[in-house]
Every structure is written in structure tokens, then in C-alpha cells.
């Protein structure tokens, strides 16, 4: 189901981009700064086939966006996260037994001085 909605969403996105780019502007830059007609859809009414198809694809885009969001957020992930991990009580590790000290090896004795008589 998620794959179907995601595919439909991508197709609607691409078609919406193409349809918006195909439409011509109404009056140029004057519309941006408040110029132009005061009617809701301009002087030509609700628009032709491109405008109606663009509105349909915009509604489809919103519906697929919301439905994909609902489908992916309600699904519980099987993967664990750091928030799911319970911390264990930290207990100090038992001290390792101390091995008996090895006997020190005596240093080699210096050669004894010979006594002369």
C-alpha cells in the first residue's frame, strides 16, 4: 500500500510541475504587487482544462502526502532504538585476585677481592 501511494505521489508531483510550467502568466509582474483584476479567477473565469487539471493534481498531491504520512507514522518499527534500550545497574567488577609477588632475583655478586698476604 505504501508503495502504491508513494508511486502515485511522485507521478502527481511530476505532472503538477509540468502543468504549472505550461500555464502562462496572467499580467506579468504587476500581479505580484497587487495590480490586476479584483475577481477571484481573473477576467477569464475559472480557467480552462489546464487549470482544472492542475487543481485536481494539487488535491491529489495533498491527499497522497497526508495518507503516506499516516501510514508511515502508525507503523511500529521492529528495529530497536537507543530509547528502547534499558540501562542496567552499574555494579563494580570484582577485583581480580592479586598474584603473589615473585621472589626478587638477587643481583649477581661482585667478584670478591682477592686477599693478598
Chunked in runs of 10, what are the mean pLDDT values of the chain (117 residues)?
91 93 70 56 63 92 93 69 67 69 69 62
Cα 63 from chain centroid (whole Å): 22
Which residues, 6+ apart, have CB-to-CB distance to 15 below 8 Å?
57
Nearest-10 Cα torsion for 83, 85, 88, 92: -90
Q: Is 0.75 topped by the overall pTM?
A: no
Nearest to 12 by CA among 48, 73, 65: 65
Amino acid at each position: 500500500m505504501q508503495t502504491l501511494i508513494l508511486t502515485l505521489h511522485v507521478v502527481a508531483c511530476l505532472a503538477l510541475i509540468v502543468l504549472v510550467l505550461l500555464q502562462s502568466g496572467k499580467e506579468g509582474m504587476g500581479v505580484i504587487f497587487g495590480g490586476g483584476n479584483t475577481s477571484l479567477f481573473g477576467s477569464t473565469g475559472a480557467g480552462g482544462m489546464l487549470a482544472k487539471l492542475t487543481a485536481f493534481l494539487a488535491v491529489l498531491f495533498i491527499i497522497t502526502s497526508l495518507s503516506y504520512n499516516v501510514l508511515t507514522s502508525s507503523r511500529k518499527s521492529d528495529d530497536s532504538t537507543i530509547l528502547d534500550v534499558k540501562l542496567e545497574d552499574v555494579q563494580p567488577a570484582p577485583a581480580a585476585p592479586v598474584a603473589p609477588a615473585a621472589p626478587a632475583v638477587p643481583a649477581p655478586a661482585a667478584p670478591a677481592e682477592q686477599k693478598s698476604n
